[in-house]
Amino acid sequence: MRPTVAWINNGAIRRNTEKIKEYVAGSARLMIMVKADGYGHGIVNSAYAALAGGADALGVAIPEEGAELRNSGVRAPILSVGALLNADDADTVVTGSITQGVFDARAVRLLADAAARANRPADVHIKVETGMNRLGVRNEDLPALLDAIDATNGAVRVRGVFTHFATSDAADKKYVYEQDARFRAAVETVKARYGRQVLAHASCSGAILELPAMRYDMVRAGIIAYGYYPGPDVRKSLDLEPAFSLRSVVSNVKTVEAGEAIGYSRTFVAPGKMRIATVPIGYGDGYRVAYSNKGHMLVNGRPAPITGRVCMDQTMIDVTGCGDVHIGDEVVLIGRQGEACVWADEVAAWADTICYEVMLSISPRVRRVCIDE
């Protein structure tokens, strides 16, 4: 079997969840976001690890993700936060007892119809537009939306109200406070109509860490459950463990002389005699071309810079400074090797992106192996 493997440490997800739970304990429930295949870690194992760590609910982006969790036996509350766009998806959420985020009358109608077909109610959380300008109902349109829901005579039931912050991981919190003021008004409107038990929630990882006043009844943790901070400007106040590591082996190693070129388009020319190793991973695995001549891997606990352009299936690295290197030796692309480590947020910087995308980009061709340590 291919030795290029993403190792997923469910134990790390469980312990991260326990730490977040303790951090917000007493004031709020905890939803763990497992959308997009658990941020690339696998949706089902991530969900069970989060529940074992004390998560009260799970968050997904699309109904199919919720259905996958139900099909694998998850009984916990699930909220689908994306837009609901067709009858088929409405059937998926209603028959799967998945709570749906809604912000428009069309989705309310789709859900009411699905509820009639299934002969059971559809539970929803109202998504409020407060400044992200992505999905949500504006405060001035909220009463009309609630009227449309009430007109379904209980087929659609309001169980929550939520919004999403655009800048909670930024140093300057002014915009979050503006968003929060709009949200607070929406929460009052919804709770006045349906009661205090309606769940209000707003905080993603950045706000959980930085803004305890915005916890409301529940928080929605994503990236911190997987062991990363949402950005460089947040307090690293939880002792998180990254759950994702990416390893391969050396598939070839050779000496090149000064002036010899490595890889496509000869973007790297050896300045002197060098030892060059090949690693069987490339952009076909989501190890991005943008890392070419910028990033490094670890071999024998030392950095091995990427030389030349990342190919579809392979990448070449400079192992001159890595001691004795042989075919079959371990290569760490994300994770720890001996004293050295390279984490996804460092990899992200090579491509001017965020750690979320680095892990999510690793394609299904890379086998995921779950461990619990």
Active site positions, annotated: 35, 264
Task: Please choose, from the candidates 319, 171, 221, the residue with its C-alpha nearest in 3D space to the C-alpha of residue 21.
Answer: 221
Q: Could you write out the DSSP letters of every residue in 170-235?
A: SS--HHHHHHHHHHHHHHHHHHHHH-TTSEEE---HHHHHH-GGG-TTEEEE-GGGGT--SSTTS-
Q: Which is nearer to ligand PLP, 2 or 138 (CB)?
A: 138
Quick one: which H or E segment has residue 344?
helix 344-350
Smallest distance, Å, CB 369 to ligand PLP? Answer: 23
CA count, 13 A, side-chain hemisphere, 121: 12
Q: Which is nearer to ligand PLP, 89 or 318 (CB)?
A: 89
- Residues 6 or more apart whose CB falls under 8 angstroms from that of 305 comprise 293, 295, 296, 317, 318
What tokens appear for 154 in the block?
């209980």
CA count, 13 A, side-chain hemisphere, 83: 10
Query: What is the footprint of ligand PLP within residues 34-53 (CB under 6 A)?
Result: 35
Q: Which is nearer to ligand PLP, 203 or 278 (CB)?
A: 203
Smallest distance, Å, CB 304 to ligand PLP? Answer: 31
Where does the chain show beta strands of DSSP type E?
5-9, 29-33, 57-60, 78-80, 99-102, 122-127, 156-162, 199-201, 218-221, 244-249, 252-256, 261-262, 268-269, 274-279, 296-299, 302-305, 315-318, 330-337, 340-342, 367-371
Residues 202, 216, 149, 139, Cα dihedral to 10°: -60
Smallest distance, Å, CB 34 to ligand PLP? Answer: 10
Q: Which is nearer to ligand PLP, 215 or 220 (CB)?
A: 220
Position 335 contacts ligand PLP (CB under 6 A)? no
User: Which residue among 34, 81, 93, 354 contacts ligand PLP (CB under 6 A)?
Assistant: 81
Query: What is the footprint of ligand PLP within residues 194-223 (CB under 6 A)?
Result: 204-205, 220-223
Position 77 contacts ligand PLP (CB under 6 A)? no
Query: What is the footprint of ligand PLP within residues 146-175 (CB under 6 A)?
Result: 164
Q: Closest-CB residue for ligand PLP?
A: 222
Q: Which is nearer to ligand PLP, 46 or 205 (CB)?
A: 205
Number of residues that bind ligand PLP (CB under 6 A): 11
Smallest distance, Å, CB 223 to ligand PLP? Answer: 4
User: Which residue among 20, 33, 122, 250 contacts ligand PLP (CB under 6 A)?
Assistant: 33
Position 83 contacts ligand PLP (CB under 6 A)? no
Binding site for ligand PLP (CB under 6 A): 33, 35, 81, 164, 204-205, 220-223, 230
